[in-house]
Amino acid sequence: MNYKKYTCNALKNRLFTWVDIDTLIQKTGITQWQQLGTSYLGKPIRMLTLGTGPVKIMVWSQMHGDEPTATAAIFDIINFFIAGADENQNLRNTILSNCSIYFIPLVNPDGAEAYTRSNAQKIDINRDYVAQQSPEGKLLKQVRNDLKPDFCFNMHNQSTLYCTKNKQAVAMAFLAPPYDATLQVNWVREQAIKVIVCMVQQLQKHIPQHIARFNDAFEPRAFGDNFQAAGSSTILVESGGWLNDDEKQTIRKYNFIALLKAFEVIATQSYQNKDVINYLMLPENQKNIFHILFKNVRVKSKKGDYRLDIGLNYTEKFNPKTRTLTKLWHVEEVGDLSTYTAYTLIEGSGFYVTKPIVLAHLTNLQVFNANHQVLYSWIKGISNHKNQ
């Protein structure tokens, strides 16, 4: 499949807003968009219906405003469906004649504009299924109740700081959310699990070591858990981390691949012979990874030198005026970090630091080599390396 052919080039980083989305919708010229309602601050929330088949699939993204990867992927998928007849016409026809797909990209346009998880009321929409205090949460619940979809896809981004038990960064994680605290698997949840198995098997051709299962603790306030309980087989998809992919454009492609495969197996019902065990065998998300890890760095000290591993992570600060993100680094942990991995793992036995290391705060850190040259430095959390 030629993914590049369908990539929606108007969305090329994580900071697009509802204005970009609306411009895009107008440009594509497809008329099947409907406005479902508005966000707390009055921005439109829209849904696109494609296909005429009896199996109903509802896909929504970015209920957390700072989790945009799948929104971009949804527009890639829409491009796939509206492209003229080409070598993928059979697949397109199979999906659209067997399924009706309801896309709701950008459930939280206020959060996307402010690049926050919450909506403008500071409510986490994905904890508002029961309380129903956010217009976005009300709308999402109402749409599912009206459509009663057979399948739901709940598209999110997870922290980049998850790895598998084999110490590989998790690029994509999946979950068929439980419908109650017993975590049992009924028919509805089993259908979701079998579709996940198909998505994972497709992704394993590309990123076999980088797929995980999300924590399946029951969350009674969340949409996925409640939709599963209400009878729609629901799949949580989480975009994670990938080396040198801050804008998640590589992971966006994996969203496209996984979603398209899901639609295909639902359309052909070929998911039905899959085994739940393949889902249960997926490694779980683990928090044993740093963004940068120095191994065996010497700390020069008047009380005698000693050696440390130094694990650093960053958070991102959004500047609403310039609409840019800045990485702010801190030392997360030091000591024996041999049970951890990192996106950037640096053998530091020839290196030393002189200042005492402060945890948790914006770091001031200089790492010297044996010739007393500064190799890496951070001042108030800002790295002097361009790519960090």
Which CB atom, from 107 or from 331, has the smaller least distance to Zn ion? 107
**CB-CB neighbours of 204 under 10 Å:** 12
CB of 156 to Zn ion, least distance (A): 3
CB of 238 to Zn ion, least distance (A): 7
CB of 222 to Zn ion, least distance (A): 10
Stretch that binds Zn ion, among 57-65, 94-102, 177-185, 378-386 (CB under 5 A): 57-65
* 281-319 burial: b if 16+ Cβ within 10 Å, else e: ebbebbebbbbbbbbebbbeeeeeeeebbbbbbbeeeee
CB of 141 to Zn ion, least distance (A): 17
For residue 263, the SS3 value is helix
Under rule CB under 5 A, how many of the chain's residues touch Zn ion?
A: 3
CB of 40 to Zn ion, least distance (A): 18
Which CB atom, from 176 or from 367, has the smaller least distance to Zn ion? 176
Residue 136 binds Zn ion, judged by CB under 5 A: no
CB-based contact 239:199 (threshold 8 Å): no
Which CB atom, from 64 or from 92, has the smaller least distance to Zn ion? 64
CB of 61 to Zn ion, least distance (A): 10
Stretch that binds Zn ion, among 153-161, 212-220, 317-325, 360-368 (CB under 5 A): 153-161
Which CB atom, from 251 or from 308, has the smaller least distance to Zn ion? 251
Which CB atom, from 67 or from 150, has the smaller least distance to Zn ion? 67
Which CB atom, from 122 or from 355, has the smaller least distance to Zn ion? 122
CB of 161 to Zn ion, least distance (A): 15
**CB-CB neighbours of 214 under 10 Å:** 22
CB of 73 to Zn ion, least distance (A): 15
Q: Which residue has the tokens 């003229």?
A: 84
Residue 156 binds Zn ion, judged by CB under 5 A: yes
Q: Which of residues 348-367 bind Zn ion (CB under 5 A)?
A: none
The structure tokens listed for 259 are 């979603």
What distance lies between CA 238 and its chain's CA centroid?
Answer: 4
Stretch that binds Zn ion, among 56-64, 185-193, 255-263, 324-332 (CB under 5 A): 56-64
Q: For residue 242, with 0-12 CB atoms within 10 Å meaning exposed, 13-18 middle and 19 or more buried, which class applies?
A: buried
Stretch that binds Zn ion, among 32-40, 154-162, 185-193, 359-367 (CB under 5 A): 154-162
Which CB atom, from 64 or from 144, has the smaller least distance to Zn ion? 64
- Phi/psi for 367 (5° steps) reads -115, 120
Cα first-last separation, the chain: 33
Which CB atom, from 190 or from 284, has the smaller least distance to Zn ion? 284
Q: Which of residues 61-80 bind Zn ion (CB under 5 A)?
A: 64, 67
Site string for Zn ion, 10-49 (x = CB under 5 A): ----------------------------------------
At 210, which helix (H) or strand (E)? none
CA separation for the pair 356, 226 (Å, rounded): 49
- Which residue number has the CB closest to Zn ion? 156
CB of 335 to Zn ion, least distance (A): 32
Q: Is the dihedral of CA 99, 271, 79, 244 positive or negative?
A: positive
CB-based contact 188:231 (threshold 8 Å): yes
Which CB atom, from 108 or from 363, has the smaller least distance to Zn ion? 108
List of residues contacting Zn ion (CB under 5 A): 64, 67, 156
